[in-house]
Amino acid sequence: MSNFKTNIQKLGRAMLLPVAAMPLAGLILRLSADDMLNIPVLGAAGNAVFGNLDILFAIGVTIGFAKAKDKGIPALTGFLAIATLKAGLNIINPEVNMGIFAGIISGLVAAWTYNHFKEQKLPLVFSYFAGEKFPLTMVMILQTVSAVIFGLIWPFIQNGIDSFAKLLVDMGALGVGIFLFLNRLLIPFGLHHVLNTYVYYDLGSYTAPNGEVFRGEMTRFINGDPNAGLFLSGFFVVMMFGIPAICLAIYRAAFKENQKMVKGIMGSGAATSFISNITEPVEFSFMFISPMLYVIHAFFAGLAGMVCYLFNIRIGFTFGACIVDYLINFRIATNPLLILPIGIVFFCLYYVTFYYLIKKRNIPTLGREVVATEFGEIALDEEEELSLASKNYQYMAKKLLAAFGGKENINDSYSCNTRLRVEVLDASVVDEARIKQLGVSGIIKPSATNYQVIIGLEVTYIMAEFDKLLAE
- Residues carrying an active site annotation: 416
State how far the Cα of 418 lies from the Cα of 401, in Å rounded to an integer: 18
How crowded is residue 468: how many other Cβ atoms within 10 Å of its Cβ?
12
Residue 68 burial (C-beta neighbours within 10 Å; 0-12, 13-18, 19+): middle
Q: Calculate the dihedral angle through the C-alpha atoms of 147, 149, 155, 156, rounding to the nearest 10 degrees.
A: -160
CA–CA separation, 59 and 103 (whole Å): 8
Distance set, CA 39 to CA 50, 184, 267 (Å): 17, 30, 26
Q: How far apart are the first and last CA of the chain?
A: 35
Amino acid at 308: C
Facing residues of 135 across strands? none
Amino acid, single-letter form, for residue 29: L
Q: How many C-beta atoms surround the C-beta of residue 142 within 10 A?
A: 19
CA distance 340 to 326: 11
Based on the number of CB atoms within 10 Å of its own CB, is 168 exposed (0-12), middle (13-18) or buried (19 or more)? buried
320 CA to centre of own chain: 19
